[in-house]
């Protein structure tokens, strides 16, 4: 649905977007992450046609945003950063404008507005002036205008910024529920959101794409990814470590000196090893030796560690 090819953007002589290419298909939720000033918002603004690219090509649903902007824009819904809204309008009046500009009229328009209001839980404020809304409602009103025409492509710049935890949850569920029939791009600073919502992650730093893959793949890059922690009620730590080291695929095993009363051993697997196979073998050893295993914990790797490692020292 969205195709971005070799995108560049200069502001003056500052390069803000540096050769970014990617594609998003229907059913995908692509998460943009990166330090402040990395070029996330600029990239989104180019895709939505608000600012022109210096070089490169963006097509939405096959329509080039430079040469066929109206067609491309009509396929898109956009929630800009900070959810801007027209003052002096009621929520209903604003959505009425959004529906009319998207080409709806009469009974169909009314249906679209009502659907957007229900979807974004705006019923209690629909006749209230936009000026008087709380931040959560403002965000949802702006979100409502972006989905009013049920677009194939949805682009959201920090959709949950400034919302309380419950509102964040609602918005995330809403985004997930819409993802089946749409191609969605969202940017965020919240790494857990990437994990909870996005099917793919794109890390941008200093205008460059430095990672493109799933959240799980990103976690795998973590040093801790694939580490097991085994806890035994009792036993000789050194002896257990020796045993575990014999297993194929185990690169390191060491005792946790901080453990109190129990024996805690951390096992690191080598990168190439099949982790499930390694785990199965560990269980075999435990069974054969009759070791009193009380707990096993698998470290997934942490997104923030990977993010930090990738973008370290580059925060603007």
Partner 1 sequence: MAISNITAIIKRELYTYFNSPVAYVFIVIFLGLTGFFTFMINNFFEMNESTLGGFFQWHPWLYLFLVPAAGMHLWADERRLGTLELFFTMPVTYAQAITAKFLAAWLFIAIALVLTFPMVITVSYLGNPDYGVIACGYIGSILLAGSYLAISGMTSAITRSQVVSFIISVVICLFLILAGWPPVTDLLVNWAPVQLVDIVSAFSVMPHFANIQRGVVDLRDIVYFLSIILFCLMTTGIILKNHAAG
Applying CB under 8 A, the residues found at the interface with partner 1 are 9, 11-12, 45, 48-52, 69-71, 73-74, 76, 78, 80, 82, 84-89, 93, 97-98, 100-103, 105, 142, 145
47/282 with CB nearer partner 1: 47
Please tell me the distance from the alpha carbon of residue 212 to that of residue 175, in angstroms, as a whole number. Answer: 21
What is the smallest separation between the CB atom of 105 and partner 1, expressed in angstroms? 7
87/107 with CB nearer partner 1: 87
- Please say whether the beta carbons of 264 and 231 come within 8 A: yes
Q: Scanning the structure block, which residue is given the tokens 């089946």? A: 180
207/226 with CB nearer partner 1: 207
Please tell me the distance from the alpha carbon of residue 244 to that of residue 286, in angstroms, as a whole number. Answer: 9
What is the smallest separation between the CB atom of 65 and partner 1, expressed in angstroms? 10
What is the smallest separation between the CB atom of 22 and partner 1, expressed in angstroms? 20
Provide the token pair at 108.
């169909």
93/235 with CB nearer partner 1: 93
Please tell me the distance from the alpha carbon of residue 217 to that of residue 300, in angstroms, as a whole number. Answer: 10
- For residue 208, the tally of other CB atoms under 10 A from its CB is 16
- For residue 189, the tally of other CB atoms under 10 A from its CB is 14
What is the smallest separation between the CB atom of 51 and partner 1, expressed in angstroms? 5
90/251 with CB nearer partner 1: 90
Backbone angles phi, psi at 190, to 5 degrees: -95, 110
Direct distance between the N- and C-terminal alpha carbons of the chain, in angstroms, rounded to an integer: 31
Provide the token pair at 137.
């409602």
What is the smallest separation between the CB atom of 254 and partner 1, expressed in angstroms? 53
Please state, in angstroms and as integers, the Cα–Cα distance from residue 122 to each residue in 6, 97, 170, 232, following that order. 40, 16, 12, 54
User: Measured over all CA atoms, what is the biggest interatomic distance in the chain, rounded to whole angstroms?
Assistant: 79
153/264 with CB nearer partner 1: 153
What is the smallest separation between the CB atom of 87 and partner 1, expressed in angstroms? 6
């Amino acid at each position: 649905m969205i195709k971005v090819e070799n995108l560049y953007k200069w502001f003056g002589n500052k390069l803000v977007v540096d050769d970014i290419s990617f594609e998003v298909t229907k059913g995908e939720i692509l998460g943009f992450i990166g330090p402040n000033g990395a070029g996330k918002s600029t990239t989104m603004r180019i895709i939505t046609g608000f600012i022109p690219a210096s070089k490169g090509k963006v097509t939405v649903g096959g329509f080039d945003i430079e040469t066929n902007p109206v067609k491309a824009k009509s396929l898109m819904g956009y929630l800009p950063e900070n959810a801007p809204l027209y003052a002096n309008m009621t929520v209903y009046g604003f959505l009425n404008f959004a529906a009319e500009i998207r080409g709806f009229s009469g009974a169909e328009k009314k249906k679209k507005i009502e659907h957007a209001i229900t979807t974004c839980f705006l019923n209690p404020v629909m006749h209230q002036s936009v000026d008087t809304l709380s931040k959560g409602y403002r965000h949802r009103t702006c979100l409502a205008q972006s989905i009013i025409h049920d677009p194939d492509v949805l682009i959201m710049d920090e959709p949950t910024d400034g919302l309380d935890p419950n509102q964040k949850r609602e918005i995330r569920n809403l985004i997930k529920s819409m993802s089946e029939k749409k191609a969605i791009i969202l940017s965020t600073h919240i790494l857990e959101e990437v994990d909870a919502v996005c099917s793919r992650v794109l890390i941008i730093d200093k205008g460059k794409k430095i990672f493109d893959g799933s959240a799980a793949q990103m976690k795998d890059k973590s040093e801790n990814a694939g580490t097991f922690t085994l806890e035994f009620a009792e036993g000789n730590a050194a002896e257990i470590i020796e045993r575990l080291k014999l297993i194929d695929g185990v690169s390191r095993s060491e005792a946790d000196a901080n453990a109190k009363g129990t024996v805690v051993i951390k096992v690191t697997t080598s990168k190439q090893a099949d982790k499930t196979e390694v785990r199965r073998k560990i269980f075999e050893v435990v069974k054969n030796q009759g070791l009193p295993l009380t707990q096993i914990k698998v470290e997934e790797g942490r997104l923030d560690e990977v993010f930090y490692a990738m973008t370290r020292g580059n925060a603007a």
